[in-house]
Each structure stands twice: as structure tokens, then as C-alpha cells.
A and B are shown apart, each in its own frame.
Chain A
Amino acid sequence: MKKEKIIILSTFLFILVIGLNIRFINVPPLGKTLSPFCGFMQNSYESIPEGETTLEGAENPIKIVFDNRLVPHIFAQTENDLYFAQGYVHAKDRLWQMDFMARAAAGTLSEVAGNKTIDKDRAIRRKGLLLAAEKSLEFISSKFPETVAHLNAYANGVNAYLSKLSSKNFPIEYKLMDYAPEKWTPLKTILIQKYMADMLSGFDSDAEKTNALKFFGKEEFDFLYETNLTKLAPMIDSFPSHKTVDHEIASVYLNYTKNIFHKDLYQPAPGYGSNTWAVSKEKSATGFPIFANDPHLALTLPSIWYEIQMISPNGNCYGVSIPGAPYIIIGFNENIAWGITNGETDVKDWYALKFRDHDNEYYYAGKWRKTVKRIERFSVAGYKDYIDTVLTTEVGPIVYDQRFNPEAEASINMAMQWKGNEPSNDFNTFYLLNKSRNYDDYRKALSYFKCPNLNFSFASKNDIAISHQGSILSRKANEGDLVIDGGLSDGKTRKDISMNNLPHEKNPEKHFIFSANQNPVGENYPYNLYGYYGVYRNRTIYNSLSSSPKLSVSDMKRLQNSNYDLFASEALPIMLKKIDRTKLSSLEKNFIDTLTSWDYNDNKDLIAPLYFQAWWDKFNEETWDEITSQTNPVLMPKNYITLKLLNLYPTSKYFDLQKSPEIETAEDLLLHALKFQCKEIDAYEQENGKLSWGLIKGTSFNHLAQIGAFSSDFVNCGGSQYTVNASSADWGAGWRMVVQFGNGKPVAWGINPGGQSGNPGSSYYADGIEDWSNGNYYELLFMKDAESLNNNMKTFIINSTK
């Protein structure tokens, strides 16, 4: 009897302990996570190192000063030590984020995040990001020993931090997902760089546009997808080149007539891109150039950006860095400032290839060739392993086939030809920019930059400049925007446009440079550039900068926060003119009156922006019911095309609803959309209270692993996809920076809403959100030497073992 009791109790206790020590799908191992000695309570301590430590890998003593926003100011005697310390502080504050991003780039998220990330991992592995990173590492190792030394120093810094990290001090996400950080390597840094490159060159609509060509036929297609509006307010007005260029039309690309079913699941949102501009001394209120940049990315926690200052005998640079990689990516030093926007020129092409014999052969450029097959194994937390077969061709890896998209056509698979798969040392660009002293240094730095295609803006005490930079094919006309029929392709590799023939300008007559992801060049450019260029923010910025004789720092900040909706200002007058007031109820008259008295600002407290967007979106959706009723994805014509139809062709067949027997005109659809949305919004407000634009937009910052408790609350702020302050529910200006040059060193302001810390339990996590939503900035502490300290700062010394 007693013996049985002991056996039962022991077994029960054993099961209890095991149960509390392992993770069940999304429930963390409760025993160790809840323990106040090693679990989440330990993450309530701030991580601000003080005093001294000795670390393996530091060549000389390094001093780090942490200011009142936990920005580290690193004082080192060599560049390697600078990057060593950068690795250390990145690890201290963002260890889990770096590790998680490296996993995302390697397609091993599911190992810790479970089932929901399987398709994301599959897509990344099919794109071959790991292979691209390995190729780049090989290339850098063979040609750039300096970069290798920096990458190693950085990894050593991260690993030095790891060597002293006990499990009770692991970031909370490791504890919840029950895994441990792994050693950092230069390959992981390159993986993160490739991941960012993929994200920035990720948007494309080749498949949807090809389906549109088939659906509409060539004549209608040319009318509905013309891009004349992109010719207004380009980045550079004119860039003639004496090079002879191939003007032959790539006719093989237009012959593709099959329907394409693949859907790219992980495209970044279009239109919410970045802004940058600079005014020359002639246009500046202070007589010295003023520089501004606000890159836009997904609003995540932790933030993608990490502020840092790096000082060595070779230079003194302040800016934002990306955890996982050395150098400062956007920032300024004693002589120059530089910034980035997405170039938006297409560097990713899709080839439809016919396969046979169980996918063992594919047909490209007139010949059958052998496929290279690869088995990818995914370990998935809480589930059994997933196996995927990945095909590679000479053109590039097969990303979409029937295994990935069950609705796709059998034996016709999509290969991706991406510039990011070519090896390069883009890191060198940032290394050199960090210590550039003038325009020539800046141009030399850019020469190493290949992928993605970016615009680099520049300002110094004397000059302003902007360059469209990257590895961009010298294309035939009409090439690259549609899916290519691989069988009919000529198989020739196109050369890149040389750097000096890419649009760039210095000290233009208009006394300012600017970029908002628009067409890089207006006229007299012989090469065919094709891309996903914006048409609203650039025109607003152009109008603002060209209309003021002199601009100040406040003007720059105001422009970065501008909620002026240029699209609304163009569309609304046309829409209002076409409404017959006599056909409206009193509620609808109210709706129209609100819109009529609106100043076109997408401000958070106004209801008019919601009225306008709801009305336009419904109208647009009904106009293009031909498209939305298709099963395969067809590209929607741009807003300005629909607006042109409304304005000039109101009886166009596109305004006729497919499902109704009557023939509708534009006025009918407009009225119907107005009545529909007016009723919807009123019903919603009756139930849920008064709406405003900020409320319905619902901006918030999401935790990288989608853990709700670590994401921010709703942030009430203005802006939309049409405003300079581009804003959506989860996309926006994660960094805003303004730099003022003068006789002495530059003065700068910036704001990173996500804050420095990656620890949700820290006061430095998400601590900038409120100021950011109010359009405030912090003055950036650009220290000259380590002696100018005050009481708010903590000093930490890393001693060398040597």
C-alpha cells in the first residue's frame, strides 16, 4: 500500500515537473518562466553597464558613454574596436531581435515560432537568401580584408557579451519560446543585409500586370497602365548621357499569354516609402545647408533602428544602425550628412519556365536544361518537421510552383532573377560614408553599393547632392515589368548601367535635392528605367521647397510631419462636381458639406479624411469589379488613371457594373458609393461612438514575434499613403532626422519612436512613441570628446585582455 503511494506520487511529481519545464506550442515552460529568480521578473532590471569589464577581443581600452536615452557614445582607439563595441551594445540591447532577424533571413523562424511562420520560411529559402549571403561572404573574404576584419570584430563584440550572459538574463522572448541565443558570425550579418535588401526590393507586380495584359488586351492595357504622371517632379529633371543605348523593344516579354496564379504573400506595402531632401545655403535661413531624411519601414518593436555615436581617430559619426550589422546606415559626421530612400527601380525579374520529367528539366532560351533540386528541411516548434523540395535553374531559384501555390499551373514554374543574388560588398559603402569628408568621398563610397536600388542624399557645409544607385540592368524598352517567357528569351545577360550613367546631381539650380521614391529622372535620359514610382509625396515636397525663398529647421520638421493629402486635393473637387445634391438625404448632405469644407489635411482628429478615403475606395472597388471578380490576380490601375477616367470619360464601360443589367455611369457609381459609405459609417458610429481619422487608421507598433503584450497600444496620429508623413496601421517613419550645418560641427535632431531598448520591461522600450506622434524631436547629442559628461550619463569601460 505504501509502496504504491510512493510510486504514484513519484510519477505524478515527475510528470508535473516535466510539464512545467517544457513548452506547449504557445504556452511557455511555466516553471522557469515564472520563477522570480530566473524568469520574467529578472527582465525588470535595466541593462545599463557601469564601471569596467575585461573582454576578449578588444584591442585597446574602449569607453562607452550612455546618455539619458540610452544612446551609446563609443570612444575607441581603432576602427576594429569601434565595431567590437558596436557588436557589444547591439547585443546588450537587441540580442533577441538580431537573432530573430537572422533566423527570418535563414528561413528557420518556425523552429522557434511554430507553425504560423512556415510559409514565410519556405518563401525565404526558395528565394535562396542563404546561398546569396554565402556567395557574398566568399566575395568579401577574397577581395576586402578590411571589411572581413570589421565583420569579425563586430561578431566578437556580440559573442563577448554572450560569453558573460547567464540564462536568467536572457531576453524575455528566449524564455517564452524556450530557446537560447547562438553565437554570432559574419554570415549572420550578411544574412540580415540580404533580408533588408529583399524587403526593400520586394515589391513587384510582374505577375499581376501580365494577367492584366491578357485580360484587357494591348490597346486598353497601354491606356490603363500609362505612367505619365510619374514625369512630374522627378528626383532629377534631366540627365543626358552620350551613351548609345538599345531602344529595341523586348517583344518576347509581351508574348506571355498564360494566366499566372502565384501570389507573393510577403510583399511590403507600396506607397508608404521614405523621404529625403536638403536645401543649399542659398535656400537656407541660416546660410548653411539643412538636411532631412525620414526612412519609412514597418513600425516594429524593437525598432529596426538603433541610435549610436562612434568616435575613433579616423572619424566621429552619429546616426542609426541596424542591429546585426556594423556601421552607421543613416547619419552625419563632422563634415557631411547622408540619407536613404528606396530607389524603387525594378531589380527583380520573373521568368516563367516550362518543366518536364517530374521537374527534372526546364526549357530556357531555346534549350532543355537540367534542374538542380534541393531538399529543405524545416523544424517546427511543437510539430513534426516539414519538407520542401526547392528547384534551381540557371536563371535563378524557382520560388513559385504548384508545391507552394496549389492553384498555379502544373509544370510552369516561376524563377526569380534578383540582383541581390549577385555577390557584392555593400557594407563598404556605409564604412566609407561614415568617414566621408566631401562630395567626392561620398561618390566613391556609393560605387560599392549594388543591391537594393537606393537613392542616397547628401549634404555638407558647401554642397548638396543626390544619386540613384545600385546594380540596374541596361534594359530594352518595355522590359522587366511583365513576367518573361523563359523559353522565348534570348538568354543573353544584360549589363548594368554604369554608375556615372545613373541619374545623380550636385548643387542643382533649384537649390534643393529631394526624393520621395519617385521617378529618378524626368527628361533626356537614354536608358529605360522601370520601377514602382510614387506620384504624391514628391509633388508635395517639391511644391513646399520651391515655393519658399528660405527654409529653416522648423520648416523641415513641419514638412516631415505634413499631413497634406495631395491626392484628395486632386480627386475630391472632381468627385464633388459630379454629385447632384438633390439626390441626397440630409445625412448625405452633411457628409458632402464636411468634405467641401475640408482643408485636405489627413489630421488625426478630423472625420473628413475617413469620408474621402471610404468614398474613393468604394468607388474604385466598384469601378474595377471586372478585376476583383477574377480568380487570378490582376493589377488594379493606379488611382490617377481611375481619376482620369472619372474626369474625362465618365461614360466609360469600366463604370458599368458587371453584375447589374442596367448600364451605370461614373456618376451612378459615385452616388452609390457615397450613399453606401455614409450609411456604413453612420451605423458604425451609432454603435461604437464618434470616429476620427486617427482612430480608424489605428496605427500601432507590433512586436516582431507578434506578441500582443509587447506591442504598443493604439497610437493616435495623422497621415496616410498620400501624405509626406506617410502612415498606415503598421507602417511609418521609424526614424526622422534633420541636420543643420554651420561654422562649427553640425547640430541635429532626431526621433526613433521604438526607443533604444529591445527589452519590453525596460523604460527605454517604446519610450519615443508619444513624442513621435506629436511631431516632436530630440536634440541629438553629438559629442566631441568623452569629457563633456553630465550627471545623466553612465560611463562603461571595456578593457583589453592584451
Chain B
Amino acid sequence: MKKNLHLTIILIVLILSQYFCPWWTLIIPCIAAGYFVSVKPFKAFMLGFLMPFLVWLFAYLYINFQNSTSPIAAQISQLLHIPNKYLLYFAGSFLIGLVGGFSSLLGFHINGYRNSESN
């Protein structure tokens, strides 16, 4: 239960950080996720990956739905040599997921280091 509470707070902080702060501030809640919540390194990475991945993907699709006639996503896809805008949304979400994943992994190892120190 404590872990679920932690996760919820971390997710909220993550979403708020993307709204109000520079994009890279997400590493803070992701490091926290790896530190507080995880048991294994792979799961830590996946947790840190999935949270920002899903947040960004949802935001892309929501804004896309709100402004369905705007060509901007198609134009940026063209600029970055990506075949279509949905692949662009996926690529963007994947990229931020990677940053989140490595942050979470870092948090996990910091936890492990602290625990081994105290032994």
C-alpha cells in the first residue's frame, strides 16, 4: 500500500513537472520511483520508462484530438524524416521513456548502495 501511495505521488509530481517545469525535471520523480518502489533493476527501468512514456503519449494523442486539423505534427515528422505523425508521437514518448528508465535505474542503484552501506 505504501508503494502504491508513493507511486501515485510520484506520478502526480511527474505530470506537474511536465506542465510547469523544463522537461528534464522528470528525472527527479523517476529517480524517486527507482529508489522507493523497485525490487529488481529491470523492473526499475521499466517503471521509470513506462510512466513518462504513457504520460507523453497520452498528451500527444489528446492534443492531436483537440486540434485534428493542424498539420504541425505532420510537418515536424517530415522535418525529422519520420514517415507519419503517430510514429513521431511514439518516437518522442520512447525517447522520454529512455530518460525516465535510466533515471529510475539510477534511483534503484542509489537505494541498493545506501542499503549495502548500512550493512
Contacts and interface: CB of A to CB of B under 8 A. Distances in A.
A139 interface: no
Contacts of A760: 71-72, 75
Contacts of B56: 35-36
A169 to B, nearest CB: 13
Interface in B60-115: 60, 63-64, 66-67, 69-73, 75-76, 78-79, 91-92, 95-96, 98-99, 102-103, 105-106, 109-110, 112-113
A43 interface: yes
A37 B105 CA distance: 25
Given A2-B109, A31-B23, A43-B72, A37 B95 contact: no
A31 B18 CA distance: 11
A10 interface: yes
Interface in A3-43: 3, 5-6, 9-10, 12-13, 16-17, 20-21, 30-38, 40-43
A707 interface: yes
B116 interface: yes
B59 interface: yes
A45 interface: yes
B24 A21 contact: yes
Given A41-B73, A44-B67, A709-B76, A34 B102 contact: no
Contacts of B75: 709-710, 760-761
B72 A40 contact: yes
Contacts of B105: 9
Interface string A277-297: 000000000000000000000
Contact of A16 (B22, B66, B98): B98
Contacts of A708: 78-79
Contacts of A36: 56, 59-60, 63, 92
A763 interface: yes
Interface string A42-64: 11111000000000000000000
B51 interface: no
Given A36-B59, A44-B72, A761-B71, A13 B23 contact: no
Contacts of A2: 109, 112-113, 116
Given A31-B24, A172-B72, A709-B75, A6 B60 contact: no
Interface string A705-718: 00111100000000
A46 B69 CA distance: 10
Chain B contact surface mostly? helix
B7 interface: no
A16 B76 contact: no
A708 B103 CA distance: 36
Nearest to A167: B22
Contacts of A238: none
Interface in A97-155: none
Contacts of A172: 72, 76
A40 B113 contact: no
B38 to A, nearest CB: 14
Given A6-B113, A20-B95, A21-B24, A709 B79 contact: yes
A762 interface: yes
B109 A34 contact: no
Interface residues on B, range: 35 or more
A13 B103 contact: yes
Given A2-B116, A763-B70, A35 B106 contact: no
B33 interface: no
Contact of A17 (B18, B63, B99, B110): B99
Contacts, number: 105
A44 B24 contact: no
A708 B42 CA distance: 42
B24 A17 contact: yes
B10 interface: no
A377 B74 CA distance: 38
Given A13-B99, A17-B99, A41 B109 contact: no
A36 to B, nearest CB: 4
A34 B60 CA distance: 10
B32 interface: no
A2 B114 CA distance: 10
A763 B72 CA distance: 10
Interface centre among A6, A37, A45 (most CB of B within 10 A): A37
Contacts of B23: 31-32, 35, 37-38
Interface centre among A2, A17, A34, A41 (most CB of B within 10 A): A41
A16 B116 contact: no
B27 interface: yes
A32 B75 CA distance: 17
Nearest to A766: B71
A36 B61 CA distance: 9
Contact of A44 (B63, B79, B113): B63
Nearest to B59: A36
A761 B76 CA distance: 10
Contacts of B64: 41, 44
Given A41-B73, A761-B71, A13 B59 contact: no
Contacts of B59: 36-37, 41
Contacts of A3: 113
A44 B95 contact: no
Contact of B99 (A16, A41, A46): A16
A709 B80 CA distance: 9
B106 A9 contact: yes
Contacts of B19: 37
Contacts of B71: 760-761
A20 B79 CA distance: 17
A2 B115 CA distance: 11
B13 to A, nearest CB: 14
A17 B96 contact: no
A35 B96 contact: yes
B92 A761 contact: no
B95 A30 contact: yes
B78 to A, nearest CB: 4
Given A3-B113, A761-B71, 13 more contacts: A2-B112, A6-B110, A13-B99, A31-B24, A31-B95, A32-B22, A35-B23, A35-B96, A36-B60, A36-B92, A40-B72, A709-B79, A761-B70
20 contacts: A2-B109, A2-B116, A5-B109, A6-B109, A10-B106, A16-B99, A17-B24, A31-B24, A31-B96, A32-B22, A32-B23, A36-B56, A36-B60, A38-B22, A40-B73, A41-B60, A41-B63, A42-B63, A44-B63, A176-B79
Interface of A: 2-3, 5-6, 9-10, 12-13, 16-17, 20-21, 30-38, 40-46, 172, 176, 707-710, 760-763
